[in-house]
Amino acid sequence: MPALKPETIFPTEEEDATITTAALSDPDARPLTEQEWATFKPRLRVGGSSVQVRKISTTIRLDNDVLAAMEATGPGWQTRVNDALRALFIQSPSS
């Protein structure tokens, strides 16, 4: 667990009890039962066309003009760069 900031304020026991009571009285925010928790299955993320792959943050160095040209294409430029790199380096399953 990450360290908390020094200015973190914790509720008093009374405030915590009030918050808990309010949460438990909200029908849309009721806690799950053990039986309900047992029905959950972890999501599996794998490569392939039918399952979305989790992206990984990385750092690369690019020439200023290359980066400017990519950003100039507007919102979604990072996705388009990812798609171009995929087309360049990864063969499609039908190839």
| CA-closest candidate to residue 49, choices 79, 89, 86, 88 | 86
Of 24, 21, 29, 81, nearest to 55 by C-alpha is 81
pLDDT digits (tens, 9 = 90+) for 8-25: 999 999 999 999 899 888
What is the SS3 assignment for 47? Answer: coil
Q: What would the mean pLDDT of 41-49 be, rounded to a whole number?
A: 56
| pLDDT tens digit sequence for 29-38 | 878 888 888 8
Mean pLDDT score across all residues of the chain? 82
- Tell me the pTM: 0.40
Query: What total number of domains does the chain contain?
Result: 1
pLDDT band at 95 (very low <50, low <70, confident <90, very high): very low
Domain housing 78: 13-89
Residue 45 covered by a domain = yes
* pLDDT value, residue 54: 74
